[in-house]
């Protein structure tokens, strides 16, 4: 496929992504993390001069620290414990296009990642067809799923793919800038950068020390502003996003490694997210087991192996209930090229007969099965993404109906403000942790708040909800519930004349 064909394929892929994105609810998310980012992005729009310092909620005009654990209290404000730069970078698009603008950067990141896989493969060997590379990256990786959600993973993958292609083309300055952006978005990109440098020894003309020094220096340019801010604001080298991950590694390191290996590479059932780690291993091993005359396969295999090894040793956890091992997302970039090589080698006519004999029927069938499974996985992922967003859409609607704009919301559910993040702009959410529930209501009573809506869960909240109102002047005016996560809303009103 020539340049025109590659552009046509890219345009078609972009159109498909736009159509898929339009079919998804925009106001809700697959998990809570994007909700945190939306809250942070909306604050960045409202206060561009201090985009990282999110005001604390107030009772009686005084800031209070009743915020859920994904917000770090720091003086009279808080900080979202998430990628610092991604919400800020998304803010202009949200301001311009509304909530749909939140998905612009992930879509751009996805297209950069897919195009980057093509660029990596063809830079190493111009005989690789762009269509095969694009197909392998689209179907053989979880990139599509992450590119349709308000996450920084796809933009980080796009920046890393671009950095790799530039590095292979001997452009260390721009490669360093790109990988610096990737690190700023996702800290595990450091492992990927190290893997690329280590694997460069297997290139025909390995970059010299000067190129490495130039790339490393350039990588610091996008990172330095956040580092300076962190030093001045927190008196710490590590900003909250990275420091929170570091804190997670202070527990049983060996037990965490076992959990990571089990969750990523030992599927427990026929659930597709559990198999993405296995797919990564198979794609990488295809570079060893299936003969091919394409150049650069040793480089690609070493990048995968080193990146996976470093992340498995340093990951703070298994990544939670995401769509596959999200910390390993960058490793899928070189693995997709190896997968494309394997698919091509199974059917290419110009491979010598001896090599063709070594390509077993099992290997060919495996590649076909992977392509079919990849298409099914993308379909399944899209359906799950849409279904989950629809479920949380009902939670969002419930919050809006039971707590009208201007209402104070009190909850012991740490995830409620994340799931209902689209409703937080015109409602005040107070998180009442264990031991503070009655205290929060008493403070609201003292400040004369006439109406409060309490959200609790029959599945997660303590059974006794009477303790909430003990010795307060609030009384129940109504209780409603929905089946989603056993969520119930209790409307409380301040009794007149109560002291």
Q: Would 371 be classed as within a structural domain? A: no
Instruction: Judge if 400 and 322 occupy the same domain.
Output: no
Measured between alpha carbons, how far is residue 310 from residues 198, 243, 307, 314 in Å? Answer: 12, 18, 5, 6
Helix pair 153-168, 332-345: axis angle to 10 deg: 70
Give the DSSP letter of residue 497. Answer: T
Each residue of 72-131: pLDDT tens digit? 999 999 999 999 999 999 999 999 999 999 999 999 999 999 999 999 999 999 999 998
Q: What total number of domains does the chain contain?
A: 2
CA distance 56 to 66: 8
User: How far, CA to CA in Å, does 114 sit from each of 12, 105, 122?
Assistant: 12, 14, 13
Residues 196 and 164 sit within 8 Å (Cβ to Cβ): yes
* Alpha carbon of residue 449 to chain centroid: 38
- Do residues 190 and 239 both lie within one domain? yes
pLDDT number for residue 357:
52
Residue 471 domain flag: yes
493: three-class secondary structure by DSSP = strand
CATH number, domain containing residue 418: 3.40.190
CA distances from 330 to 72, 142, 269, 308, 312 (A): 28, 10, 25, 9, 13
- 235 and 352 housed in the same domain: yes
Instruction: Report residue 459 as tokens.
Output: 């599945």
Co-location of 220 and 286 in the same domain: yes
What mean pLDDT comes out for the span 414-428? 96
- Of 181-185, 310-314, 407-411, 495-499, where does mean pLDDT reach its minimum? 495-499
Contacts of residue 81, Cβ cutoff 8 Å, sequence gap at least 6: 36, 69, 70, 71, 72, 240, 241, 244
Position 55 in a domain: no
Residue 191 and residue 364 in contact, taking contact as beta carbons nearer than 8 Å: no
- Rounded Cα–Cα distance for residues 164 and 401 (Å): 49
CB-based contact 392:419 (threshold 8 Å):
yes
- Cα–chain-centroid distance for residue 40? 15
Examine the domain organization and report whether 421 and 348 are in the same domain.
no
Burial of 126 (0-12, 13-18, 19+ CB in 10 A): exposed
- The pLDDT value given to residue 350: 44
Write down the pLDDT at residue 355: 52
Q: Rounded to an integer, what distance in angstroms lies between the CA atom of residue 375 and that of residue 367?
A: 12
Is residue 376 included in any domain, yes or no?
no
Q: Are 216 and 329 in the same domain? A: yes
CA gap 64, 418 in Å, rounded:
19
Q: The whole model's pTM is what?
A: 0.92
Spatial separation of the C-alpha atoms in residues 327 and 311, rounded to whole Å: 7
DSSP character at residue 100: G
Of 359, 381, 413, the one marking the end of a domain is 359
In a domain, 273, yes or no: yes
So what's the pLDDT on residue 63? Answer: 95
pLDDT value at 383 more than 70: yes
For residues 474 and 492, the answer to whether their CB atoms sit within 8 Å is yes
Q: Residue 101: which domain range?
A: 3-30+83-359
What are the pLDDT digits (tens) for 246-288?
555 556 788 888 888 888 998 877 777 888 998 899 889 887 7
User: What interhelical angle do 361-402 and 130-139 show, nearest 10?
Assistant: 50
Report yes or no on 104 lying in a domain. Answer: yes
Q: Do 232 and 290 have their domain in common? A: yes
Residue-wise pLDDT tens digits, 187-219: 999 999 999 999 999 999 999 999 999 999 999
Check whether residue 414 and residue 477 sit in a common domain: yes
440 lies in some domain: yes
Domain boundary at 319, 340, 359, which?
359
In this model, does residue 351 exceed pLDDT 70?
no
The β-bridge partners of 480 are 489
Regarding whether 289 and 173 lie in a shared domain, the answer is yes
Closest residue by Cα to residue 59 from 454, 444, 385: 444
The residue among 359, 376, 410 that closes a domain is: 359
Instruction: Please give the pLDDT value at position 141.
Output: 93
H-type alpha helices, 403-459: 416-419, 437-446
User: Is residue 486 in a domain?
Assistant: yes
Which residues face 476 on adjacent strands?
A: 492
Give the angle subtended at the CA of 253 by the CAs of 251 and 258, to the nearest 5°: 125
54 phi, psi to nearest 5 deg: -90, 125
Please give the Cα distance from 381 to 390 (Å, whole number).
14
CA-based angle 398:399:401, to the nearest 5?
A: 65
Same domain, 294 and 435: no
Q: pLDDT value at position 6?
A: 65
Query: Does residue 287 sit in the same domain as residue 394?
Result: no
pLDDT digits 0-9 by tens, 293-306 = 899 999 999 999 99
Same domain, 354 and 399: no
Q: Which residues contact 311 (CB under 8 A, 6 or more apart)?
A: 188, 191, 327, 328, 331
Calculate the alpha carbon distances from 56 to 234, 242, 398, 413, 460 in Å.
17, 22, 24, 18, 25
- Here the tokens at position 379 are 């379909």
d(CA 344, CA 218): 37
């Amino acid at each position: 496929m020539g340049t025109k064909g590659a552009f046509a394929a890219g345009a078609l892929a972009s159109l498909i992504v736009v159509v898929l994105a339009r079919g998804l609810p925009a106001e809700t998310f697959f998990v809570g993390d994007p909700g945190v980012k939306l809250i942070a992005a909306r604050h960045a729009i409202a206060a561009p001069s201090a985009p990282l310092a999110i005001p604390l909620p107030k009772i009686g005009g005084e800031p209070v620290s009743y915020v859920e654990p994904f917000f770090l209290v720091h003086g009279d404000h808080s900080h979202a414990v998430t990628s610092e730069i991604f919400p800020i970078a998304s803010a202009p698009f949200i301001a311009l296009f509304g909530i749909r603008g939140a998905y612009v950067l992930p879509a751009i990141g996805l297209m950069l990642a897919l195009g980057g896989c093509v660029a990596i493969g063809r830079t190493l060997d111009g005989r690789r067809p762009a269509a095969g590379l694009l197909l392998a990256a689209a179907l053989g990786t979880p990139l599509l799923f992450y590119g349709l959600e308000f996450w920084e993973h796809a933009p980080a993958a796009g920046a890393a793919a671009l950095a790799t292609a530039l590095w292979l083309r001997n452009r260390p300055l721009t490669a360093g800038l790109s990988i610096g952006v990737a690190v700023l978005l996702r800290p595990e990109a450091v492992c990927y950068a190290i893997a690329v440098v280590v694997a460069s020894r297997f290139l025909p003309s390995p970059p010299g020390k000067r190129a490495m020094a130039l790339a490393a220096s350039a990588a610091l340019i996008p990172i330095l502003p956040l580092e300076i801010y962190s030093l001045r604001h927190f008196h710490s080298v590590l900003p909250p996003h990275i420091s929170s991950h570091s804190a997670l590694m202070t527990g049983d390191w060996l037990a965490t490694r076992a959990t990571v290996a089990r969750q990523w590479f030992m599927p427990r059932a026929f659930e597709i997210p559990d198999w993405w780690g296995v797919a990564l291993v198979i794609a990488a091993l295809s570079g060893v087991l299936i003969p091919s005359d394409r150049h650069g396969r040793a480089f690609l295999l070493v990048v995968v192996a080193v990146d996976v090894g470093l992340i498995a040793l340093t990951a703070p956890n298994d990544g939670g209930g995401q769509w596959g091992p999200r910390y390993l997302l960058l490793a899928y970039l070189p693995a997709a090229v190896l997968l494309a090589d394997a698919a091509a080698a199974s059917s290419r006519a110009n491979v010598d007969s001896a090599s063709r004999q070594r390509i077993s029927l099992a290997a060919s069938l495996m590649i076909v099965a992977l392509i079919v499974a990849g298409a099914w996985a993308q379909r399944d992922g899209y359906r799950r993404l849409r279904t989950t967003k629809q479920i949380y859409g009902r939670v969002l609607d419930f919050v809006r109906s039971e707590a009208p704009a201007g209402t104070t919301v009190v909850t012991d559910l740490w995830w409620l403000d994340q799931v209902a993040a689209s409703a937080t702009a015109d409602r005040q959410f107070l998180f009442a942790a264990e031991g503070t529930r009655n205290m929060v209501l008493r403070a609201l009573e003292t400040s004369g708040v006439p109406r409060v809506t309490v959200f609790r869960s029959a599945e997660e909240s303590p059974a006794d909800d009477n303790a909430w109102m003990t010795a307060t002047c609030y009384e129940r005016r109504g209780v409603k519930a929905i089946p989603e996560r056993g969520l119930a809303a209790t409307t409380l009103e301040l009794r007149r004349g109560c002291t």
